[in-house]
Structure 1
Amino acid sequence: MYGRARSLDRLGELERSNSRLEQAIVTYRGVLDLADEDSNLVPLPLVRMAAENCIDRMIFRGFFGKAVRVQQRLLQRFPDDVKLRNKMGVTFLLMNQGSAAKEVFEAVLQQWPDDGFAQVHYGFILKNTYKNNSGGALYMLKGIESGAEGTDDGRFYFHLGDALQREGKVEEAYKIYDRAVAKGLFLGRYQRSLYNVDRLSSRPFWTPEQTTYQMFFRKLEENWEAIRDEGAALLTAPPQDGFRPEAENLRDVGDWKQYDLFTRGRKITANCVKAPRTCSLIENFPPAAVCKRGQVKFSVMHPGTHVHAHTGPTNCRLRAHLGLVVPDGLRLRVGNEFTTWQEGKIFIFDDSWEHEVWHEGDSPRLILIVDVWHPELTEHERKTLVPI
């Protein structure tokens, strides 16, 4: 039965067939069922191999809940195996169940307090699920310093540095970033995106001509008043139909909301109905409309807002800002360079570089944000890169 499962598994890979993989999953589970019926029938090493292959394929297919149940069955036979417990914690993270993952890693650390893999994941959860920057930084640093397998990952350096910055420990954060650069985990101290194509040109700010999209950007500027009127009208919409609070925990203080028009290369039709002129301009320009690693959205920021220093997820896009309603008292830092917005004018920057925003004016700022594919990406890359 195990041999049949492995054969189906391999056929699934060769044929790129989800159906074959699901047949393999059922057959792997059949081995576990036999072991449950008669513990002497199936040797423990075979039980483990069948279970781990089954879990791996379930996760590949997105069957996370089923994977957890198999992991729990496996732990009944190997209760003192820390690696199995850690893997179950990771599965809960893949399910976006931070509280369940936290319980798993807490239990691991009670029994194995120096396990670096559990430390770094526990710290990651404290920071991102529970907004505990100091506790998250403490455990992520312990985990990274342990050198344990699975801890040398750009995500942990990214979030450790971010937690330190938010705690005001800026110099410590940049030391962490520099270590990650030396390991090849980041493109640079200020360019810390995690989903990259390494050969792409990089600079904080781009001219329209450098992007090769100058005709498109000129058209947006020519229509800026119509775009402004559509964005301003949406500001008066009821909460369920209007701007939504920024959802990535990037805001330090203040009020910052967004209204999505395109996301991950797809038009949000219900929203575009309320901004038809803006969406028609975007829809006719594929590098923006089908940018799977970007968004198009209105952004409103109220006085007294500060946005934490942060970086975007990928170097595969450039981000354009079109000023629509721009009071005094605004600043944007990208790397070590500063700029501000002007009504009817566009500037373009690479948001994989660290950037930070201050609104010290006395009235709201409204802009249109348009992400476009990096101009040096090939057509094949634009079609095959996974969405973000």
Structure 2
Amino acid sequence: MMTSNQTASTSSTVGARAYLEQMVRRYYSGLIDAWHYAGETEKAMESAAEAVRQGVWDQPLQRAREHIPGLSAQPLHDPAEFWFTSYLEESYPQIRAEIEQVLDTPLDPVAPSTNDAGLIRRGAWKQAHLFRDGRWQNRVSERFPITTAILERIPDVTVLSPGVITVSRVTPDTHIMPHCGPTNGLLRIHLPIKIPAGVSIRVADQVLQWEEGKCLVFDDSFEHEVWHRGTEDRVVLILDVLHPELSGDHQERLLRRQHNFEEQIVSFMRERGLRQVRVQDGEVVLTPDDTVRQLVETYLSGIGITGAELDGEEVQWERQDSQPGPAE
């Protein structure tokens, strides 16, 4: 019989192992994303195949950073599996009318996506979150009262899902590079609002075209990318729902994320090597941990630079005994 100390030790070991596995997946994901961003598709797939050989993932095109074992892995799901997809499709005319009434007006909250900026090879991807982090985003949802009222009748995408509800807008000549969602515990639902000619999405090895008013359900932990070769903006309403086979502790952990903002902050800090974050006088102040601090000091002091500031594609350097100047 295990003592309480032995149980605690075992739990700690399991937790450390899970954290290590997640870090390995994160680093592999970063490597694969970097190859894709560089346009080196073959090298990206070689890295994904190597990760599978090392047991990081089960298959090269499904690369969730948080991989929940035992869930059926299929890129596309039948929308009829979910009771509310027919309700969404019936409500499509009302949702589309309201979204079109708001877009391109002073009330339009849809803006360039800062979180996903690294996925844009060219063009523009704009988004507005009606729901995220377990709560309605009132500044946005109040702009879409009819759509919000419709969605409030679907607990699967609010009360029972830690995902997002987003108005997504992609401009012509946009390419969103191949990428994978963070967990296989969620499925992604697209309700296409406005689909011009020339737009498509690839999920795993299948290239698809959206159909206005018809839900598309896919597992976004599979690699997917978007092309827009048309001449008008593509608009989609995005929703997340729990994987239908998810249960037990895994489900509870995902649902707990809706309310546990402290864990999200801690995860954010650890991923980025931060020791402290705070808001002071309206400014966000970030303090790096010792590892990041040492790296920065080593990189900068060795070449006589005291600071650097990114402004889009431009870099402003601060050099010892000199004024800031543009990148050489």
Q: State TM-score, norm by structure 2.
A: 0.68
Deviations 1:271-308 (A, max 9, x none): 22221222222222222113554111111111111101
The separation in 1 between residues aligned to 2:137 and 2:169, in whole angstroms, is 19
Aligned to 1:94: none
Aligned to 1:126: none
Aligned to 1:160: 31
Asked if the contact 2:131/2:166 (under 8 Å) is kept, the reply is yes
Deviations 1:77-103 (A, max 9, x none): xxxxxxxxxxxxxxxxxxxxxxxxxxx
Asked if the contact 2:187/2:240 (under 8 Å) is kept, the reply is yes
Asked if the contact 2:68/2:250 (under 8 Å) is kept, the reply is no
For structure 2, list consecutive stretches of 5 or more residues without a partner in the other structure: 10-19, 258-263, 265-328
Aligned to 1:263: 132
Aligned to 1:238: 106
Using the TM superposition, give the Cα deviation of residue 384 of structure 1 relative to its aligned residue in structure 2, in angstroms: 2.5
Higher relative contact order (CA 8 A, sep 6+): 2
Cα distance change, pair 152–345 in 1 and its aligned pair in 2 (3 A):
closer
Deviations 1:228-264 (A, max 9, x none): 122222312438x611212222111111101111113
Select which of 224, 227, 251 maps to 2:120: 251
Using the TM superposition, give the Cα deviation of residue 381 of structure 1 relative to its aligned residue in structure 2, in angstroms: 3.6
Asked if the contact 2:161/2:241 (under 8 Å) is kept, the reply is no
Alignment of 1:140-179 (within 5 A): 153-179=24-50
Aligned to 2:199: 330
Aligned to 2:165: 296
The separation in 1 between residues aligned to 2:23 and 2:238, in whole angstroms, is 34
Aligned to 1:347: 216
Alignment of 1:181-196 (within 5 A): 181-196=52-67
Bigger strand share: 2
Cα distance change, pair 193–291 in 1 and its aligned pair in 2 (3 A):
farther
Asked if the contact 2:189/2:215 (under 8 Å) is kept, the reply is yes
Cα distance change, pair 158–280 in 1 and its aligned pair in 2 (3 A):
same
Cα distance change, pair 290–252 in 1 and its aligned pair in 2 (3 A):
farther
Asked if the contact 1:293/1:314 (under 8 Å) is kept, the reply is no
Aligned to 1:92: none
Runs of 4+ in 1 over 4 A off after TM superposition: 149-152
Bigger helix share: 1
Q: Which amino acid aligns with 1:234?
A: V
The separation in 1 between residues aligned to 2:86 and 2:21, in whole angstroms, is 47
Cα distance change, pair 339–161 in 1 and its aligned pair in 2 (3 A):
same
Cα distance change, pair 234–359 in 1 and its aligned pair in 2 (3 A):
same
Identity %: 36
Asked if the contact 2:194/2:236 (under 8 Å) is kept, the reply is yes
Asked if the contact 1:317/1:350 (under 8 Å) is kept, the reply is yes
The separation in 2 between residues aligned to 1:183 and 1:264, in whole angstroms, is 33
SS state of the match for residue 153, structure 1? helix
Asked if the contact 1:234/1:243 (under 8 Å) is kept, the reply is no
The separation in 1 between residues aligned to 2:166 and 2:48, in whole angstroms, is 30
Aligned to 2:87: 219
The separation in 1 between residues aligned to 2:146 and 2:23, in whole angstroms, is 47
The separation in 2 between residues aligned to 1:151 and 1:201, in whole angstroms, is 20
The separation in 2 between residues aligned to 1:291 and 1:284, in whole angstroms, is 12
Aligned to 2:145: 276
SS state of the match for residue 35, structure 2? helix
Q: Which amino acid aligns with 1:356?
A: E
The separation in 2 between residues aligned to 1:275 and 1:315, in whole angstroms, is 29
Deviations 1:112-131 (A, max 9, x none): xxxxxxxxxxxxxxxxxxxx
Asked if the contact 1:224/1:324 (under 8 Å) is kept, the reply is yes
Using the TM superposition, give the Cα deviation of residue 197 of structure 1 relative to its aligned residue in structure 2, in angstroms: 1.4
**Based on CA coordinates, which of the two structures has the bigger radius of gyration?**
1
For structure 1, list consecutive stretches of 5 or more residues without a partner in the other structure: 1-9, 15-148
Deviations 1:97-151 (A, max 9, x none): xxxxxxxxxxxxxxxxxxxxxxxxxxxxxxxxxxxxxxxxxxxxxxxxxxxx999
Q: Which amino acid aligns with 2:26?
A: R
The separation in 2 between residues aligned to 1:202 and 1:300, in whole angstroms, is 28
Alignment of 1:1-388 (within 5 A): 153-209=24-80, 212-213=81-82, 215-238=83-106, 242-247=109-114, 248=116, 249-378=118-247, 381-385=250-254, 387=257
Q: State TM-score, norm by structure 1.
A: 0.58
Q: Which amino acid aligns with 1:233?
A: Q
